[in-house]
């Protein structure tokens, strides 16, 4: 047996090769990602093939077709030297999740709340065909006339004041929060009145159709206000899914509402308004190019404004609701690299970004947004000794979502999941521990230890909880999608690093949550 192959087999757990890392390619180079340290290394063609066999087939071959004995020996020697000097391929098979003590959890809940999100209403004036709150989408509430009372809103703000550190955010959600604009305004004014000596910011999500010049002027006058504005591109694309409750397209009202906000914020619009675009199938270059050209053609919209572009929530669009208007004559995006196909938006954005030189272009913003997580990944000199709880927050610490009735949920995305307290009694530490720490750890730990993407994972509670607690069948489906997306992000990051390294240098200035 090859001398260095023998050393490698005596050092690493070949049978667990699938959990030790992954390989990926760009158009120009080949790389490996090491699970234990978070390091990424460029590989020669021979080393790449050996590592691919380790990660995908849990084997280290003694012979490889097309390799001479000398080439095979050199490749194994190079891998062995990396194992010795960089401590790769050696992560422990039975790590534990980092677990906060009860005292630490209490302190985080009492003194370090960062954001409170008020669900002002379950009403919405629109019926977007992909909305998670539609009747056909199980696991989430439907639209209803329920609205938050002033007493609940008041208590929520007081809870934020009493349990936050030196800064806190008060946010508004729905339904459509502007359906309850007067309550929103009253809550903002009360927050500014009682929260003193802290950095106080505000935000809300809106479909834009209810924005008037008066509403725009008010929110623009609130210090620390930001707006997440939903618009899906040009009229035909937007109106295919974003319709009013009567079925009529909403584009005209939405674009007018966006104009009112941009005019009211003036110079501050570029940092105070974020555009949120949801892309529905079919995912064609024709459709994505049309969205890009639309936003770049709005000469009144600041180029610097952050524009997010992402997929519709999995399973929330019925087949009969899919519009084929922009199918693109079969031209679907997805560049294949060594058998791996980049997902539609990622592949399209990467291709367009590498073609362009404008750092303020629509695609440049999308690419940068998707690179931040890889840029800020956990990296250590030696294999890490513990696991982070994937992309999960500390429940009740980073944010609290207050439902119309005052119950606390983790966030606006968790749907029909166990609550963690209410505005009248505060956060419930025992529920948090039971559902979101002990149960999550017990049911997830084995699978996470088997996964190469464990230290890059962005999967959180929102993807895998129902009324009774964690749904592991649902979680495992989402895990596969996250692994796939993570490899795509690695490819995008190193593709940009090769061809536009100045973009990577600027990522340090991008907020990361």
Q: Rounded CA gap, 472 and 488, in Å?
A: 24
For the stretch 280-332, pLDDT in tens is: 877 788 889 999 999 999 999 999 999 988 877 545 566 656 666 665 554 54
pLDDT digits (tens, 9 = 90+) for 82-132: 999 999 999 998 999 999 999 999 999 999 999 999 999 999 999 888 886
Q: What is the pLDDT of residues 452-469, one digit of tens each?
A: 999 999 899 988 999 999
Rounded Cα distance between 367 and 238, Å, is 22
Measure the CA–CA gap between 319 and 285, rounded to whole angstroms.
21
Q: What is the pLDDT of residue 313?
A: 56
What residues contact residue 390 under an 8 Å CB cut-off, 6+ apart?
A: 444, 448, 454, 457, 458, 459, 460
- What is the C-alpha separation between 403 and 409, in angstroms, rounded? 7
Residues 153-177 as b/e (b if ≥16 CB within 10 A, e otherwise) read bbbbbbbbbebbeeebbbbbbbbbb
Nearest alpha carbon to residue 418 among 476, 477, 470? 470
Instruction: Mark out the alpha helices in 332-386 (DSSP H runs).
Output: 344-355, 362-375
User: What's the rounded Cα separation, in Å, for the pair 129 and 322?
Assistant: 9
End-to-end CA distance of the chain: 48
Q: Which helix (H) or strand (E) holds 408?
A: strand 408-409
Query: Is the model more confident about 141 or about 156?
Result: 156
Nearest Cα residue to 91 out of 13, 5, 24, 10: 13
- Residue 285: the pLDDT is 85
Q: 206 has which bridge partners?
A: 229
| Confidence bin at 512 (pLDDT 50/70/90) | very low
Answer whether 392's CB lies under 8 Å from 460's CB: yes
On average, the pLDDT of the chain sits at 90
- 338 — pLDDT class (breaks 50, 70, 90): confident
Query: Which pair of structure tokens corresponds to residue 227?
Result: 């707006």
Q: What three-state secondary structure class fits 304?
A: coil
Burial 409-425 (b: 16+ CB within 10 A, else e): bbbbbbbebbbbbbbee
pLDDT of amino acid 309: 85
Order across the sheet with 164-173: list the strands.
Answer: 307-311, 273-279, 225-230, 199-206, 164-173, 113-119, 400-402, 408-409
Q: In this structure, what token pair is assigned to residue 155?
A: 């208590």
| pTM for the full predicted model | 0.90
Write out pLDDT tens, residues 400-421.
999 999 999 999 988 889 999 9
Mean pLDDT of all residues in 142-171: 94
Contacts within 8 Å (CB) and 24+ apart, 10-17 = 11/83, 11/89, 11/90, 12/83, 12/89, 12/90, 13/93, 14/54, 14/58, 14/59, 14/60, 15/58, 16/58, 16/93, 16/450, 17/54, 17/55, 17/56, 17/57, 17/58, 17/59
E strand or H helix at 107: helix 102-111
Distance (Å, whole) CA 453 – CA 483: 6
- How far is it, in rounded angstroms, from Cα 85 to Cα 88? 8
Instruction: Check whether 513 has a pLDDT greater than 50.
Output: no
Is 142 or 10 the better-scoring residue by pLDDT? 10
Q: For 342-354, write each residue's pLDDT tens digit.
A: 777 888 888 888 8
């Amino acid at each position: 047996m090859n001398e260095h192959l023998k050393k490698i087999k005596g050092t690493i757990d070949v049978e667990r090769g699938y959990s030790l890392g992954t390989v990926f390619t760009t158009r120009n180079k080949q790389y490996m990602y090491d699970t234990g340290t978070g390091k990424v290394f460029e590989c020669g063609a021979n080393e790449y093939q050996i590592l691919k066999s380790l990660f995908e087939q849990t084997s280290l071959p003694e012979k490889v077709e097309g390799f001479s004995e000398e080439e095979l020996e050199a490749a194994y020697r190079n891998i062995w030297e990396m194992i010795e000097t960089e401590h790769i391929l050696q992560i422990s098979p039975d790590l534990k999740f980092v677990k906060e003590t009860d005292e630490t959890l209490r302190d985080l809940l009492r003194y370090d709340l960062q954001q409170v999100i008020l669900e002002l209403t379950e009403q919405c004036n629109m019926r977007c065909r992909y909305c998670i709150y539609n009747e056909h989408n199980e696991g989430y509430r439907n639209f209803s006339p329920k609205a938050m009372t002033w007493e609940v809103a008041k208590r929520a703000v007081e809870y934020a004041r009493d349990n936050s550190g030196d800064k806190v955010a008060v946010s508004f959600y729905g339904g459509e929060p502007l359906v309850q604009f007067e309550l929103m305004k009253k809550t903002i004014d009360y927050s500014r009145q009682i929260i003193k000596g802290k950095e106080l910011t505000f935000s809300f999500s809106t479909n834009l159709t209810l924005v008037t010049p008066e509403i725009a002027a008010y929110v623009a006058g609130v210090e620390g206000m930001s707006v997440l504005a939903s618009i899906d591109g040009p009229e035909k694309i937007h109106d295919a899914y974003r319709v009013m409750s009567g079925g009529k397209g909403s584009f005209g009202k939405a674009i007018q509402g966006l104009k009112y906000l941009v005019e009211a914020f003036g110079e501050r619009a570029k940092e105070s308004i974020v555009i949120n675009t949801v892309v529905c199938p079919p995912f064609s270059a024709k459709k994505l190019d049309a969205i890009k050209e639309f936003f770049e053609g709005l000469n009144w919209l600041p180029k610097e404004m952050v524009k997010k572009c992402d997929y519709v929530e999995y399973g929330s669009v019925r087949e009969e609701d899919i519009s084929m208007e922009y199918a693109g004559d079969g031209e679907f995006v997805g560049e294949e690299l060594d058998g791996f196909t980049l997902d539609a938006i990622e592949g399209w954005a990467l291709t367009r970004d590498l073609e362009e030189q404008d750092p303020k272009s629509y695609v440049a913003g999308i690419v940068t947004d998707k690179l931040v997580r890889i840029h800020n990944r956990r990296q250590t000199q030696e294999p890490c000794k513990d696991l982070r709880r994937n992309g999960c927050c500390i429940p009740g610490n980073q944010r609290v979502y207050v439902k119309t009735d005052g119950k606390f949920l983790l966030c606006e995305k968790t749907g029909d999941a166990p609550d963690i307290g209410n505005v009248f009694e505060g956060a419930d530490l025992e529920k948090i521990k039971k559902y979101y720490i002990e149960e999550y750890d017990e049911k997830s730990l084995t699978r996470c230890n088997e996964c190469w993407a464990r230290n890059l994972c962005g999967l959180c509670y929102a993807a895998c909880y129902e009324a009774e607690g964690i749904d592991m069948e649902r979680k495992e489906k989402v895990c596969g999608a996250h692994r796939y997306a993570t490899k795509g992000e690695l490819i995008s990051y190193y593709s940009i690093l090769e061809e536009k390294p100045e973009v990577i240098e600027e990522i340090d200035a991008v907020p990361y949550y």
